[in-house]
Structure 1
Amino acid sequence: MARKKNNRKKKPAHQTNGGYKNYIRDVIEAAKILGLRTDARVLSNTNKHRLYEGRLRISNPEVVDGYVSGAELKRITQKVKEYYRVRNIEIKENTIVSAYQCSLLQDYTRALQKALADSFEDKNDPDIEMLKSAQSRFFNLAYSYIITHFYKIITQLSNPEYKYFGLNMRSLALYKDNPSFGIVPEIYGIPAEVKKFTINNQVRPAFRLGKPNAEKPYFLWIKVEKNVFGENYNGTKNELDVYIQSHAIKRLCQRLDLLKRPAINYILWQNTNTISELTIHRGNLLLPVKIYDIKIGYLVADVVDDVLLFKTFLFITHNCTPEGDTLRSISGLGKEDISYWKIDRLSTFVSLDTTKYLALTKLFKHSGLSDIFQLKDKDFDVELMQEANLDGLIHYLERGKNAAKVQKQEFEALLQNA
């Protein structure tokens, strides 16, 4: 039997597109959160579709070399999508939005700007100029936080004994038939570099320290300028590479025992990405290690074969640290006592009942360890640690990164012309 012809017109694809409906709903919600009045010229049916089609798109990250596995890329993608919708941007007093909402507000102010430009004779009208400024601000916020979200996860995953990760943000080409503007995150994998050093007649392997970079080449090996060493280096090199022994990483994990490995990776990056000062104590080169901006110990270094080599990690109570030596002189506690009473690890201080053990608490405070008790109220989940240091992370990305700033300006110019 012949099939009866269906004369009903098919609905346009966008009318059944859940992504479209959710997007328009989210745009209106973001505008209301900011106190913007939604404009009928932008939200007519025709213009809503134009708004959706011309939206700022953030593509899933892509691998650009053979050193990033499918599982690693999947983890990076999932975590960044989570971060993207977390409200952590104070856009004005008592108003906090997410990077996703900043991108929606960028779309909306751009569309409203074009709607006004179409209806106003004066293209330099103050309202249009105000919207241009608002669009630029929303884009800058969205872009800054998006790249920061990627840095949060790649600093968790970058393990000097295994692999580092780098990031580039590439813009999608604009076409007449495709008015949307897109950003494609590109992920690089950088294999670990190992070098062998002879120390006390023993050959010891160590791993080179590196960091992701916000401009090409997107990854840098960490270097320390010669003047940081003062009289402790008399070689000819102006900059020294930085390596860390496995033993030092092992001690970091043991003594910062509340931190899981992604947090250790992040703390290592946070404390070594820029080394501008070393403490010299009893002939040792010490790099302070901080959590939540509170000193909890030192990486002990030596200059070996024109390289700054981190040999071990000492908790702040250990002998051979300034605070540890003060503690020993006051209390008489020796190296074995520190280990026996387990006051050489983070968990002991965080769990110590300071009201019950008043004498011990006073002893630690007199030894210069009072700040460490502030960690009792902190959370050692890596994401919360990074959230607390978000301003510092953004500052790191923007500090001296002229190429990244130029790239952002190019993105804005493309958006204006889209």
Structure 2
Amino acid sequence: MRRQTLHKEIVGIQELESFDAFQYFEKRLSRVLETHLFESSPVHLLSQEEKQLIFGLLWYVRSPKRAPENAISDSDLKSIGEEYHQIIHKFRISHEGKEIALLDYNILAAFYHVLYHGIKSRKRTRYLKENFAIPILEGASLLKSVPNMYTACFFMLISRLNDIRKQCYSFKMLHSDGQGNLNMTLTPVLSIYWARQESMMIHRAFRSVYKVPNPQISSGINWLKISKEKLESHYSGNKSELNLYIQTHALNQIQERLDIFDQQALNDILSFSLRHIKAFEIYKGNLLLPILVCHIKVGYLVCDIIDDRLVARTFRFITQNKTPVGDSLLENHIHSKFGITYCPIDKLRLLFKVEDEVVLNLYYDAGVEDVFCLKNYNLIIDAMQEANYKEFLSYIKQGEEAELNVTSVNREDLNLQDYSLVKLLGLLILNTIGLIVAQVMKMFYSLASTFKGLGKQNADLNEKFDKRRIIGLSNAKLLLRNELDVVHAKSEKYEEQVS
């Protein structure tokens, strides 16, 4: 009896919350239509049933979930969820010449979809189209683009958080419908992988390097590979693609030279530049990889090829020597008729402080004018990522294509560090038990051989023991090959997204 009463109370609360969410939606729908259609948009012409249809088509973003058997912590999930909701609440896109929030675009897209595809009566459809003055071009459903917009925003967040020296995140955005009070939900399912640090012999000394991940919209981790063609004459080996590594020194130099950015912004700058490698620059025998901020070149990673691996050894700011602009700048100072003393500037903050018109002209002539334009930009992480939003959308498609080919991924790149703590403990226990059994069996065979002289039986037992070891190793390998299953969680409330 108590159970039935509790069930009724829960259902009652859910209905009340759903009612509150719908009331909020009605108010926001009115504001969206007035802003993006006409100032006096006749919202009152929509019936309650039609509003319910619009409400039911809204995409709802749930809190991130942990991929099965992954080691990401609850605190990480909570923190990432909070940051994600901040992004989707603040983020704006351009629609028909106006800025619009993602939630408002979601509502507008659902409104258009209902008017073109959700009302059975043609007469009613024609009446509403005329009164709302809906453009004919809006007949194509905008609703299909909404999931990718929310996914792009989550990828923007991952781009901030992926630190080559610490961790890399990958995620899969699950789509579901027919759950709870809302028909369509998006759930990010998140995994964490620790940084891959190695020691590499470079110029007769062992140096610390990090393997560069290539995060995509997938349930696993991939590593960034550079095609042989982009390296031109610098590589004549047999591999068609080379893994990219970054030396610790290069990461330190990026942080020091691009000193106006915090760590999240630097993560995003590096991630964007490495995802969009169009070509290397060959200068004075050096292989230079451009680093971009808002599509403006600010420096280079200087790369070497070592044992079929591409290694970014250091970072040179765009005005430093041994770069095209830096050497041109030095030449301009040497031949300047004003007798200006050359003072090399190797940090972005110092460069922005240059105000003397004569010196500025020398920098402009050398090709640094674009970098000075960054002074007029709002160089915070949100603005930078909004400028790159189209690239995030295009990268989602690449990730989806990569996921289709996941079975052809070279598994040798995934070692024990890519598995969860639970799996590692399981393997450790399995190996320990195997060692104990091996020792006991060894003692048994030794005693049998000494006291009974059963040579033939010893041989048979040894054969059985070898088979058990093979089976044990096979089980361990099977454990490593278990696929991760993504599951759906129960739906949360709509007002959490819009609060």
Of the two structures, which has the highest relative contact order with CA contacts closer than 8 Å and spacing of 6 or more? Answer: 2
- SS of equivalent to 1:221: coil
Q: Which amino acid aligns with 2:26?
A: I
Higher helix share: 2
**CA shift for structure 1 position 258:** 0.3
Q: Which moved more, 1:19-28 or 1:131-140?
A: 131-140
Q: Which amino acid aligns with 1:390?
A: Y
Structure 2 residue corresponding to 1:150, chosen from 144, 148, 154: 154
Q: Which amino acid aligns with 1:14?
A: L
Asked if 1:91 corresponds to 2:95, the answer is yes
- SS of equivalent to 2:119: helix
Q: In percent, how many aligned pairs have the same letter? A: 23
Alignment check: 8 A CA contact 1:299 1:314 kept = yes
Q: Which residue of 2 aligns with 1:251?
A: 253
Q: Which amino acid aligns with 1:163?
A: Q
Asked if 1:187 corresponds to 2:190, the answer is yes
- SS of equivalent to 2:385: helix
Alignment check: 8 A CA contact 1:100 1:142 kept = no
Instruction: Extract unaligned runs of 5+ from structure 2.
Output: 1-11, 336-341, 405-499
Q: Which amino acid aligns with 2:246?
A: I
Q: Which residue of 2 aligns with 1:59?
A: 62
Q: Which amino acid aligns with 1:62?
A: K
- How far apart are the structure 2 equivalents of 1:11 and 1:164? 40
Alignment check: 8 A CA contact 2:112 2:139 kept = yes
Alignment check: 8 A CA contact 1:222 1:274 kept = no
Q: Deviations over 1:84-118 (max 9, x none)?
A: 2336222213x32111112222333344456621x
- How far apart are the structure 2 equivalents of 1:168 and 1:272? 21
Q: Which residue of 1 aligns with 2:229?
A: 227
Asked if 1:27 corresponds to 2:32, the answer is no
Q: Which residue of 1 aligns with 2:288?
A: 286
Q: Which residue of 1 aligns with 2:318?
A: 316
Q: Which residue of 2 aligns with 1:108?
A: 111
Alignment of 1:267-346 (within 5 A): 267-332=269-334, 341=343, 343-346=345-348
**CA shift for structure 1 position 219:** 4.2
**CA shift for structure 1 position 207:** 0.8
Q: Which residue of 2 aligns with 1:172?
A: 176
Q: Provide the TM-score with structure 1 as the length reference.
A: 0.80
**CA shift for structure 1 position 278:** 0.9
**CA shift for structure 1 position 195:** 2.1
- How far apart are the structure 2 equivalents of 1:33 and 1:139? 19
Q: Which amino acid aligns with 1:186?
A: V
- SS of equivalent to 1:205: strand
Q: Deviations over 1:326-346 (max 9, x none)?
A: 22333359xxxxxx9561000
Q: Which amino acid aligns with 2:290?
A: P
Q: Deviations over 1:278-314 (max 9, x none)?
A: 1111211101112122211110000011111001100
Q: Deviations over 1:358-377 (max 9, x none)?
A: 23222222322222221221
Q: Deviations over 1:49-91 (max 9, x none)?
A: 5654554322112121534333332232222222223362222
Q: Over alpha carbons, which structure has the higher Rg?
A: 2
- SS of equivalent to 1:165: strand
Inter-CA distance 281–151: structure 2 relative to 1 (3 Å threshold):
same
Asked if 1:73 corresponds to 2:77, the answer is yes
**Count of residue pairs brought into register by the alignment:** 381
Q: Deviations over 1:370-418 (max 9, x none)?
A: 222212212321111112222233233345855799xxxxxxxxxxxxx
**CA shift for structure 1 position 160:** 0.6
Higher strand share: 1
Inter-CA distance 124–320: structure 2 relative to 1 (3 Å threshold):
same
Q: Which residue of 2 aligns with 1:211?
A: 214
Inter-CA distance 141–97: structure 2 relative to 1 (3 Å threshold):
farther
Alignment check: 8 A CA contact 1:279 1:285 kept = yes
Alignment check: 8 A CA contact 1:41 1:115 kept = no
- How far apart are the structure 2 equivalents of 1:359 and 1:104? 54
Q: Which moved more, 1:266-275 or 1:51-60?
A: 51-60
Inter-CA distance 72–137: structure 2 relative to 1 (3 Å threshold):
farther
- SS of equivalent to 2:170: strand
Alignment check: 8 A CA contact 2:175 2:187 kept = yes
Q: Which amino acid aligns with 2:367?
A: G
Instruction: Extract unaligned runs of 5+ from structure 1.
Output: 1-9, 334-339, 406-418
Q: Which residue of 2 aligns with 1:382?
A: 381
Inter-CA distance 134–191: structure 2 relative to 1 (3 Å threshold):
farther
- How far apart are the structure 2 equivalents of 1:114 and 1:319? 62
Structure 1 consecutive aligned stretches of length 4 or more whose deviation exceeds 6 Å = 121-127, 130-133
**CA shift for structure 1 position 13:** 3.8
- How far apart are the structure 1 equivalents of 2:299 and 2:107? 44
Q: Which amino acid aligns with 2:385?
A: Q
Inter-CA distance 28–123: structure 2 relative to 1 (3 Å threshold):
closer
Q: Provide the TM-score with structure 2 as the length reference.
A: 0.68
- SS of equivalent to 2:264: helix
- How far apart are the structure 2 equivalents of 1:73 and 1:135? 39
**CA shift for structure 1 position 41:** 7.0
Inter-CA distance 326–14: structure 2 relative to 1 (3 Å threshold):
same
